[in-house]
């Protein structure tokens, strides 16, 4: 018991131990001062860089959010209503080579293609179907044939076996052809030969043995054929009808 009393007395007389020191929270001014000493003063460049980084991050975030939003199906815009297009002008009809204009053009094309207007024969099978035969240049025993194209005019028909030609072949000079009077004979031919409903009207120009002549043949739908002959100037019409 004496030991315990002495122990208690010693405890009362011994110096007390103070609790450990707990520093108080730093003041904001102290923090600012610490940063200024450690990192130096804040520059405007640093602030601008920080602001730019914040803006870029914000834009990226907004873009990602917008991509995740479902705005529903996209509707096509209403079609634009345009004024109706003006109707195209009708194409000009091809020149009928049996008319005055067509015969004039044909003679010019023969002159341009062959260098002359002298031919063996000309056959016009329709409005734009024509063949022209002449002697092959430098070879009078051979025949050269031209065909008509509405775009290019007369063109040479190439063949491995040209037609034989009589050197004494009678020829016709198309400069003696009167396009106007001959075209009139062709236009009147169906009624003249008694085939008013002619399905085909053909024109043939050649020397058939009695001098240059124009022969017009009309073919009806019923098979009736009517023919007439005239001079290149359109006169001297002679009618012959075949049943």
pLDDT tens for 83-103 read 555 554 444 446 789 999 999
Model confidence at 10: pLDDT above 80: no
The pLDDT of residue 54 is 64
Dmax (CA) for the chain in angstroms is: 182
| CB burial of residue 4 (10 Å; 0-12, 13-18, 19+) | exposed
State how far the Cα of 243 lies from the Cα of 241, in Å rounded to an integer.
7
Average per-residue pLDDT for the chain = 77
The pLDDT of residue 150 is 74
First to last CA, the chain: 173
The DSSP element (H or E) to which 231 belongs, if any, is none
Phi first, then psi: what are they for 8, rounded to 5°?
A: -65, -40
The pLDDT of residue 48 is 67
pLDDT in tens, 148-198: 877 777 888 877 787 899 999 999 999 999 999 999 999 999 999 999 889
User: Could you tell me the pTM of the whole model?
Assistant: 0.59
pLDDT in tens, 119-129: 999 999 988 88
């Amino acid at each position: 018991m004496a030991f315990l009393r002495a122990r208690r007395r010693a405890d009362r007389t011994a110096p007390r131990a103070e609790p450990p020191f707990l520093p108080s929270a730093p003041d904001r001014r102290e923090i600012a001062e610490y940063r200024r000493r450690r990192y130096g003063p804040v520059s405007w460049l640093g602030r601008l860089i920080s602001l730019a980084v914040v803006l870029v991050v914000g834009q990226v975030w907004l873009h990602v959010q917008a991509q995740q939003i479902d705005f529903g199906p996209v509707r096509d815009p209403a079609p634009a209503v345009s004024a109706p297009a003006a109707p195209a002008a009708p194409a000009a009809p091809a020149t009928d080579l049996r008319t005055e204009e067509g015969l004039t053009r044909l003679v010019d094309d023969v002159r341009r293609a062959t260098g002359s207007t002298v031919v063996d024969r000309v056959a016009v099978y329709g409005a734009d179907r024509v063949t022209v035969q002449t002697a092959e240049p430098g070879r009078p025993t051979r025949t050269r044939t031209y065909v008509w194209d509405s775009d290019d005019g007369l063109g040479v028909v190439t063949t491995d076996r040209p037609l034989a030609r009589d050197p004494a072949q009678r020829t016709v000079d198309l400069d003696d052809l009167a396009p106007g009077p001959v075209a009139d004979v062709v236009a009147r031919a169906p009624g003249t030969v008694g085939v008013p409903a002619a399905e085909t009207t053909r024109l043939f120009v050649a020397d058939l043995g009695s001098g240059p002549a124009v022969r017009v043949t009309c073919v009806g739908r019923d098979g009736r054929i009517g023919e007439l002959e005239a001079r290149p100037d359109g006169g001297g019409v002679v009618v012959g009808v075949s049943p």
